[in-house]
């Protein structure tokens, strides 16, 4: 897929880009069934919600599942990442975030890059994520909120007060290790407002590693599942020598440049 110059400019200015109907319905339906099967098994990167009534996230699916391993190489996703980052890339992280009907917990206001910098040793914030909607996402089932242009403030050094030295599971809980303070969120929203990422299944959302974002609980009867692939340039790998502190499903160690496979539409 080729981005237009206007789309590239929009991403660079706002810090995110929403593209509808990018992933064909048959591909999304296959991903949906794959996620349902993965939820019946136990893997190290599977994380439960605090209340224990369902999974919050499935991390590292591409490491053990061929469907996701193929998806990360689809030209619609991979070539777009290379265009936006102007470099060859590898997958630093992949996860499926789930919000079960009536029980999906929130994600506080935060940035992603601060984890990759502080925990994984990624030196620069030229790292990008693509979220693909496995379900229809509306105003009721916990959509992602983003603050336009907030990536321009850079990496905000803040935490929730007592969790900065917690384990990897703290990094993916509702009590996130690093959270953006309410005063800054308030200031930025007064300037630029809030964007709610909604759309039909198959929609994708590209967003910068420093964009400030959050999502509310899902108290609706509609489930909300999204996959998120984080692509990192091969020139921006970890500066940590030896074994990395976080597991492979959070911090990818295979930094070889990815090569595209067949289009999702074939």
102 part of a folded domain = yes
Domains: count for the chain: 1
pLDDT of residue 167: 76
pLDDT of residue 93: 97
Query: How far from 208 is each of 113, 118, 205, 247, CA to CA, in Å?
Result: 9, 17, 10, 23
pLDDT of residue 202: 98
5 part of a folded domain = no
147 part of a folded domain = yes
Predicted TM-score (pTM) of this structure: 0.95
Q: What is the DSSP letter of 199?
A: B
Range of the domain at 134: 14-236
84 part of a folded domain = yes
* Per-block mean pLDDT, blocks of 10 residues, the chain (266 long): 91 98 96 97 90 92 97 97 97 97 95 95 98 98 98 87 64 85 97 98 98 98 98 97 91 97 86
User: In whole angstroms, what is the distance from residue 44 CA to residue 172 CA?
Assistant: 13
Type and span of the H or E element at 214: strand 213-215
Question: What would the pLDDT profile of 153-189 be if each residue is shown by its tens digit?
Answer: 999 987 655 555 567 777 877 788 899 999 999 999 9
pLDDT of residue 159: 64
Q: What is the mean pLDDT of the chain?
A: 94
Q: What is the DSSP letter of 49?
A: -
Chain-centre distance for alpha carbon 11: 16
251 part of a folded domain = no
């Amino acid at each position: 897929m080729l981005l237009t110059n206007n789309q590239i400019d929009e991403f660079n200015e706002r810090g995110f880009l929403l593209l509808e109907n990018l992933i064909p319905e048959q591909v999304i339906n296959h991903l949906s069934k794959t996620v349902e099967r993965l939820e019946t098994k136990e893997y190290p990167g599977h994380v439960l919600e605090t209340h224990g009534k369902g999974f919050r996230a499935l991390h590292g699916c591409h490491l053990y599942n061929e469907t996701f391993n193929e998806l990360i190489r689809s030209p619609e996703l991979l070539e777009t990442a290379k265009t936006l980052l102007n470099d060859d890339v590898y997958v630093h992280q992949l996860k499926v975030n789930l919000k079960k009907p009536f029980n999906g917990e929130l994600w506080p206001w935060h940035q992603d890059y601060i984890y990759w910098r502080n925990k994984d040793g990624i030196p620069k914030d030229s790292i990008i994520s693509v979220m693909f909607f496995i379900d229809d996402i509306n105003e009721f089932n916990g959509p992602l909120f983003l603050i336009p242009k907030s990536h321009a403030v850079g990496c905000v050094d803040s935490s929730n007060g007592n969790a900065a030295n917690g384990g990897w599971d703290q990094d993916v809980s509702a009590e996130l290790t690093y959270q953006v303070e309410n005063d800054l969120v308030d200031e930025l929203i007064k300037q630029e407002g809030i964007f709610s990422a909604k759309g039909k299944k198959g929609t994708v959302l590209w967003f910068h590693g420093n964009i400030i974002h959050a999502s509310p609980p899902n108290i609706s009867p509609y489930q909300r599942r999204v996959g998120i692939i984080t692509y990192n340039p091969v020139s921006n790998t970890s500066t940590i020598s030896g074994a990395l502190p976080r597991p492979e499903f959070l911090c990818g160690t295979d930094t070889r440049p990815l090569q595209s496979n067949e289009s999702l539409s074939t």
